[in-house]
């Protein structure tokens, strides 16, 4: 009784819960609890945000690729020399100093922001001789030439010296005369040169002109280096072309000094092949613009391979020489693509110095910014005040100067970071310079500055799918069949052993699989090619034959094996079949393929064979994907409620019928999601593909050739790409594509799986 009394609540009035210590303790506990709630909340949410960050950051790196160009005016002033016509205008690297070349032989360097003259110099034009024409070498070479009224030409370069007195950058411009201050002869008859073209390379110098009396003299100087003195000697060679028309707009010489383009105002475009020297002949003649239109401007694109033709209706077309498909050994001038800038005649085209892009201005002052490879119009805006005359883009393509007829210069800042990328250039067929036809090509870098980067993701996406396809071809049947047997037929005791073994496969680092594929499997397959194919054919036949033999064994023997252990007796069978196939390989090769299947494939069938090919990748990556598919599919089949299959069996269906009619239909969404997740893994796998193929970005489904996948491409090229460049961002885009692809596929699979789980729950 007394004990009861003591434990009853009424008997402990002396226990005070509100002592200061207890209150404090409670307060501390409450604070701790709140702190934990806040801490866990903040921590948890921030982890989830960090995960989201991946998506956002990839997007952040990718988005600038698709931004258009923008342009804004920074200053306007009058050109230093207004008394004579401006022949040419350009800028140095930093775009701080510009240069004006005038028709009276003056070169003026001026500040691009204020128009203040920095330096003024007269060119050494001989007394009594006038300047009659002007020509520019390639934009990056800084080489310029003046055609004179005595049939000669004066060649000069504008150069800039950068010094840092007192840590301040000072740019001092000067002129350089690489071929001497004496004019060089182009026309031996001394007639005034009305049009001029120049091309200077390490191999030689070519000067071409049209004279006032309608001839086209061409002078080539071949540079020959003296072995002893290292001095360069010029050997002169003259060619005279038959000119058939008047009205020449401009002349252009290609970089190999083979193609010579004569642009005629009436819309005709003549190409001469200078390779034959004195016998130079017309290679092609085309009508470059629509009937009734005139050509108003022509410029060579960076690298000098493409010719840009602007017409009197605002259309600009790109042309280059392409091997003629009908006439072997012949070349023809091919229209590649067109851009439309307003309706007014094109007045001037300025070509970018580092990229295959250009800017054009029309008579109404509309400026267009374009990229040829990407076939992209980045900007079209009427910006020029008055009648436009000349435009000039800076070497870094960030500053544009525009000069109007009244001598007014407008300076613009151009923001045009990634013009070479467009949906079309990433996923479509692009006709690249010097290619015979449009193609899907990935070639991100080359030694040459004038190289046209080829950013087509198609060959990489194709390679990715090809690798995934062959991997799935091998993995799906093995994994699903294995899962069916393990989940439905196998004895539980064996299942407990087999499942971990196959799941251990999943943990194997792919670098090991890749290394074995590249260094062991690839040479092995090359050596035993017929055996591998024999294996693929013999394996199912052999297994069925062995099982039939087993079923017909005497009962005593059969009963030694407990039910559901069939797979165990197949292990030696599989080993024997594999051994037989490989042993058969060499005799087979001898009988059917003349001793060398690889040579037979290449020579007789015309199928190229790489040692590290899609078959190797398929096997190795199949191996990597099997456990993924297996374990998910196995789970799905195993969790089909047992009473369904028991009911079916009780109604007299065979185990196989039960499986096919009852179990598989129920589990099929789960199997589907297993395949999807496996696919996701195959698509993103990097190391196996990197090591087991040659990594050449080709578009060919041939099982005996390699591929380059998106993932492998990222691994190979990201470390070498310049941060923030288009190439870098395109690789981020590739990563983003992979991310989205796997994320979407996995989400779909996961949703299917969750639905399935709910359905089983209902059953």
Partner 1 sequence: MRQPLDKWLKSGTPWVWLNAGAVAISVIMVIGLLALIAVRGLGHFWPASIVEAQIQAPNGNTSLLIGEIVDTEEVSAAQLRSAGIELPESATFVDRHLVKIGNRDVYGSDFSWVLDRNIVERTYPENLIAIERREWGNFYGYLLAVKEAGVTVAEQNAGENRIWDEFQARIERALTIHEAIYQIEKHEIGSINYALERLRLKQRRLELEGKDTPENLAELDAERQSYQQEYHALEARLADLNKEFNRDSFVAQVQDGRTTEIYFSKVVRAYQPNAMGLGGKFAFYGAKLWEFLSDEPREANTEGGIFPAIFGTVMMVLLMSVMVTPFGVVAAVYLREYAKQGFITRVIRIAVNNLAGVPSIVYGVFGLGFFVYFLGGHMDDLFFPEALPAPTFGTPGLMWASLTLALLTVPVVIVATEEGLARIPRTVREGSLALGATKAETLWRVVLPMASPAMMTGVILAVARAAGEVAPLMLVGVVKLAPSLPLDGNYPFIHLDQKFMHLGFHIYDVGFQSPNVEAARPLVYATALLLVVIIALLNLSAIAIRNHLREKYKALES
Rule CB under 8 A: which of 20-39 touch partner 1? 29-30, 32-33, 35-37, 39
- Is residue 652 part of the contact set for partner 1 (CB under 8 A)? no
How far is 714 from 734, CA to CA, in rounded Å?
7
Structure tokens at 451: 């190289």
DSSP state of 466: H
- Is residue 532 part of the contact set for partner 1 (CB under 8 A)? no
User: Exposed/middle/buried for 358, CB within 10 Å: 0-12, 13-18, 19+?
Assistant: buried
Q: To the nearest whole angstrom, how small is the minimum distance from the Cβ of residue 195 to partner 1? A: 49
CB contact burial 381-400 (16+ within 10 A = b; e otherwise): eebbeeebbbbbbbbebbbb
Structure tokens at 111: 């500040």
Task: Write out the binding residues for partner 1, residues 656-685 only, by CB under 8 A.
Answer: 656-657, 659-660, 677, 680-681, 683-685
Task: Write out the binding residues for partner 1, residues 297-326 only, by CB under 8 A.
Answer: none
- Is residue 654 part of the contact set for partner 1 (CB under 8 A)? yes
Q: Which stretch binds partner 1 (CB under 8 A): 88-96, 229-237, 246-254, 734-742?
A: 734-742
How far is 712 from 695, CA to CA, in rounded Å?
8
- Among residues 289 and 683, whose Cβ is nearest to partner 1? 683
- Spatial contact of 562 and 592, defined as CB atoms under 8 Å apart: no
- Among residues 309 and 711, whose Cβ is nearest to partner 1? 711
DSSP state of 150: T
- Spatial contact of 394 and 95, defined as CB atoms under 8 Å apart: yes
Q: Which stretch binds partner 1 (CB under 8 A): 4-12, 378-386, 640-648, 731-739?
A: 731-739
Task: Single out the residue of 180, 247, 277, 477 in contact with partner 1 (rule: CB under 8 A).
Answer: 477
Task: Single out the residue of 215, 385, 598, 757 in contact with partner 1 (rule: CB under 8 A).
Answer: 598
Nearest to 692 by CA among 705, 679, 677: 705
Task: Single out the residue of 104, 547, 668, 725 in contact with partner 1 (rule: CB under 8 A).
Answer: 547
How far is 643 from 731, CA to CA, in rounded Å?
52
Structure tokens at 449: 């500055």
Place of tokens 């990839």: 58
Half-sphere exposure of 138 (CA within 13 A, CB side): 25
How far is 234 from 445, CA to CA, in rounded Å?
34
How far is 143 from 282, CA to CA, in rounded Å?
27
How far is 223 from 369, CA to CA, in rounded Å?
38
- Among residues 81 and 679, whose Cβ is nearest to partner 1? 679
Place of tokens 């799941």: 503
Task: Write out the binding residues for partner 1, residues 47-106 only, by CB under 8 A.
Answer: 47-48, 50-51, 53-54, 57-58, 61
How far is 680 from 743, CA to CA, in rounded Å?
8
Q: To the nearest whole angstrom, how small is the minimum distance from the Cβ of residue 720 to partner 1? A: 11
- Among residues 278 and 508, whose Cβ is nearest to partner 1? 508
- Among residues 260 and 485, whose Cβ is nearest to partner 1? 485
Q: To the nearest whole angstrom, how small is the minimum distance from the Cβ of residue 625 to partner 1? A: 12
Q: What does residue 197 show for φ and ψ, rounded to 5 degrees?
A: -140, 145
- Spatial contact of 178 and 153, defined as CB atoms under 8 Å apart: no
- Among residues 423 and 656, whose Cβ is nearest to partner 1? 656
- Among residues 45 and 278, whose Cβ is nearest to partner 1? 45
- Spatial contact of 340 and 314, defined as CB atoms under 8 Å apart: yes
- Is residue 719 part of the contact set for partner 1 (CB under 8 A)? yes
DSSP state of 167: G
Task: Write out the binding residues for partner 1, residues 604-623 only, by CB under 8 A.
Answer: 623
Question: What pairing do the DSSP bridges indicate for beta strands 268-273 and 259-264?
Answer: antiparallel
- Among residues 446 and 508, whose Cβ is nearest to partner 1? 508
Task: Write out the binding residues for partner 1, residues 564-593 only, by CB under 8 A.
Answer: 566-568, 570-571, 573-575, 578, 586, 589-590
- Is residue 446 part of the contact set for partner 1 (CB under 8 A)? no
Q: To the nearest whole angstrom, how small is the minimum distance from the Cβ of residue 503 to partner 1? A: 8
How far is 499 from 480, CA to CA, in rounded Å?
13
Task: Write out the binding residues for partner 1, residues 682-701 only, by CB under 8 A.
Answer: 683-687, 690-691
Mutual angle of helices 458-484 and 664-684, in 10-degree steps: 140
- Residue 707 makes CB contacts below 8 A (sequence gap 6+) with 462, 463, 464, 466, 467, 614, 617, 689, 693, 695, 696, 697, 698
- Among residues 160 and 524, whose Cβ is nearest to partner 1? 524
- Residue 382 makes CB contacts below 8 A (sequence gap 6+) with 364, 365, 366, 367
Task: Write out the binding residues for partner 1, residues 630-649 only, by CB under 8 A.
Answer: 630
How far is 89 from 371, CA to CA, in rounded Å?
22
- Among residues 406 and 744, whose Cβ is nearest to partner 1? 744
Structure tokens at 438: 């449009």
Place of tokens 């398929």: 618
Q: To the nearest whole angstrom, how small is the minimum distance from the Cβ of residue 175 to partner 1? A: 34
Task: Single out the residue of 174, 177, 427, 520 in contact with partner 1 (rule: CB under 8 A).
Answer: 520
Nearest to 112 by CA among 327, 372, 357, 396: 396
Q: To the nearest whole angstrom, how small is the minimum distance from the Cβ of residue 583 to partner 1? A: 10
Could you give the C-alpha distances from 620 to 479, 520, 623, in angstroms and in order?
Answer: 14, 11, 5
Q: To the nearest whole angstrom, how small is the minimum distance from the Cβ of residue 494 to partner 1? A: 9
- Spatial contact of 278 and 269, defined as CB atoms under 8 Å apart: no
Q: Sign of dihedral through CA atoms 606, 611, 613, 618? A: positive
- Among residues 12 and 40, whose Cβ is nearest to partner 1? 40
Q: Which stretch binds partner 1 (CB under 8 A): 73-81, 258-266, 381-389, 535-543?
A: 535-543
Number of residues interacting with partner 1: please give it, by CB under 8 A: 116
Task: Single out the residue of 471, 479, 534, 662 in contact with partner 1 (rule: CB under 8 A).
Answer: 479
- Is residue 457 part of the contact set for partner 1 (CB under 8 A)? no
- Among residues 154 and 457, whose Cβ is nearest to partner 1? 457
Task: Write out the binding residues for partner 1, residues 383-422 only, by CB under 8 A.
Answer: none
Q: To the nearest whole angstrom, how small is the minimum distance from the Cβ of residue 718 to partner 1? A: 6
- Among residues 340 and 654, whose Cβ is nearest to partner 1? 654
Structure tokens at 640: 């089909």
- Among residues 107 and 663, whose Cβ is nearest to partner 1? 663
Q: Which stretch binds partner 1 (CB under 8 A): 76-84, 171-179, 182-190, 728-736?
A: 728-736
Q: Which stretch binds partner 1 (CB under 8 A): 5-13, 349-357, 401-409, 495-503?
A: 495-503
- Count of residues in the chain: 763
- Among residues 405 and 590, whose Cβ is nearest to partner 1? 590
Q: To the nearest whole angstrom, how small is the minimum distance from the Cβ of residue 542 to partner 1? A: 9
Alpha helices (H) along 75-127: none
- Spatial contact of 97 and 160, defined as CB atoms under 8 Å apart: yes
- Among residues 128 and 761, whose Cβ is nearest to partner 1? 761
Task: Single out the residue of 596, 643, 646, 755 in contact with partner 1 (rule: CB under 8 A).
Answer: 596
Start-to-end Cα distance in the chain:
56
Structure tokens at 321: 């020489």
Q: To the nearest whole angstrom, how small is the minimum distance from the Cβ of residue 8 to partner 1? A: 20
- Is residue 562 part of the contact set for partner 1 (CB under 8 A)? no
Q: Which stretch binds partner 1 (CB under 8 A): 6-14, 187-195, 291-299, 707-715?
A: 707-715
Q: Which stretch binds partner 1 (CB under 8 A): 122-130, 177-185, 383-391, 478-486?
A: 478-486
Beta partners for residue 676, in sequence order: none
Q: Which stretch binds partner 1 (CB under 8 A): 197-205, 239-247, 420-428, 474-482?
A: 474-482
Task: Single out the residue of 257, 284, 732, 756 in contact with partner 1 (rule: CB under 8 A).
Answer: 732
């Amino acid at each position: 009784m007394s004990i009861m009394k003591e434990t009853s609540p009424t008997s402990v009035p002396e226990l005070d819960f509100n002592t200061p210590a207890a209150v404090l303790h409670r307060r501390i506990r409450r604070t701790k609890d709140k702190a934990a709630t806040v801490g866990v909340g903040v921590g948890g949410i921030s982890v989830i945000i960090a995960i989201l960050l991946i998506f956002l950051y990839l997007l952040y790196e990718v988005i600038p690729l698709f931004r258009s160009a923008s342009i804004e005016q920074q200053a306007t002033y009058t050109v230093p020399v207004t008394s004579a016509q401006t022949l040419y205008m350009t800028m140095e690297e930093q775009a701080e100093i510009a240069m004006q070349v005038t028709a009276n032989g003056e070169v003026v360097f001026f500040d691009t922001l204020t128009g203040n003259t920095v330096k003024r110099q007269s060119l050494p034009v001989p007394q009594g001789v006038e300047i009659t024409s002007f020509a520019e070498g390639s934009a990056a070479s800084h080489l310029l030439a003046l055609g004179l009224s005595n049939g000669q030409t004066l060649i000069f370069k504008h150069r800039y010296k950068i010094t840092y007195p007192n840590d301040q950058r000072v740019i001092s411009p000067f002129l350089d005369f690489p071929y001497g201050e004496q004019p060089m002869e182009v026309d031996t008859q001394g007639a005034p040169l009305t049009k001029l073209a120049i091309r200077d390379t390490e191999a030689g110098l070519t000067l071409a002109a049209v004279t006032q009396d309608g001839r086209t003299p061409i002078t080539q100087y071949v540079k020959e280096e003296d072995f002893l003195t290292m001095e360069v000697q010029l050997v002169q060679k003259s060619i005279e072309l038959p000119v058939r028309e008047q009205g020449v707009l401009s002349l252009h010489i290609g970089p190999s000094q083979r193609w010579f383009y004569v642009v005629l105002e009436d819309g005709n475009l003549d190409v001469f092949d200078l390779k034959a020297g004195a016998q130079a002949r017309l290679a092609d003649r085309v009508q470059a613009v629509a009937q009734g239109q005139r050509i108003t401007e022509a410029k060579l694109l960076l690298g000098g391979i493409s010719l840009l033709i602007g017409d009197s209706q605002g259309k600009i077309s790109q042309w280059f020489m392409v091997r003629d498909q009908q006439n072997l050994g012949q070349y023809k001038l091919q229209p590649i693509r067109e851009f439309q800038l307003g309706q007014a005649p094109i007045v001037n085209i300025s070509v970018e110095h580092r990229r295959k892009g250009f800017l054009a201005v029309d008579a109404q002052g509309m400026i267009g910014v374009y990229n040829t490879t990407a076939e992209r119009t980045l900007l079209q805006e009427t910006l020029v005040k008055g009648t436009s005359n000349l435009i000039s883009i800076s070497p870094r393509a960030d500053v544009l100067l525009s000069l109007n007829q009244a001598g007014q210069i407008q300076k613009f800042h151009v923001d045009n970071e990634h013009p070479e990328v467009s949906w079309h250039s990433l996923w479509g067929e692009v006709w690249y310079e010097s290619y015979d036809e449009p193609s899907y090509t990935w070639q991100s870098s080359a030694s040459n500055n004038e190289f046209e980067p080829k950013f087509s993701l198609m060959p990489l996406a194709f390679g990715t799918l090809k690798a995934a396809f062959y991997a799935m071809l091998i993995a799906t049947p093995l994994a699903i069949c294995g899962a069916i047997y393990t989940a439905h037929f196998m004895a539980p005791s064996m299942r407990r052993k087999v499942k971990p073994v196959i799941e251990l496969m999943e943990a194997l680092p792919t670098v090991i699989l890749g290394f074995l594929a590249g260094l062991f499997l690839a040479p092995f397959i090359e050596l035993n090619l017929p055996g591998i194919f024999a294996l693929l054919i013999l394996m199912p036949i052999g297994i069925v034959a062995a099982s039939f033999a087993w079923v017909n064994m005497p009962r005593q023997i059969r009963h030694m094996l407990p039910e559901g252990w069939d797979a165990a007796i197949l292990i030696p069978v599989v080993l024997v079949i594999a051994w037989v196939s490989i042993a058969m390989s060499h005799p087979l090769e001898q009988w059917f393929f003349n001793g060398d299947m690889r040579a037979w494939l290449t020579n007789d069938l015309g199928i190229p064979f790489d040692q590290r090919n899609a078959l190797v990748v398929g096997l190795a990556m199949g191996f990597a994907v099997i456990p993924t598919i297996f374990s998910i599919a196995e789970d799905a089949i195993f969790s089909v409620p047992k009473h369904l299959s028991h009911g079916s069996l009780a109604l007299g269906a065979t185990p196989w019928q039960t499986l096919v009619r009852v179990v598989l239909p129920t589990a099929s969404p789960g199997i589907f999601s297993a395949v999807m997740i496996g696919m996701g893994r195959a698509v993103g796998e990097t190391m196996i593909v990197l090591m087991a193929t040659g990594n050449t970005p080709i578009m060919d489904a041939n099982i005996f050739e390699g591929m380059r996948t998106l993932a492998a491409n990222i691994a190979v090229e990201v470390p070498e790409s310049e941060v923030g460049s288009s190439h870098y961002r395109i690789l981020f885009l590739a990563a983003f594509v992979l991310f989205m692809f796997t994320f979407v596929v996995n989400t779909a699979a996961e949703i299917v799986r969750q639905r399935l789980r709910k359905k089983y729950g209902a059953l």
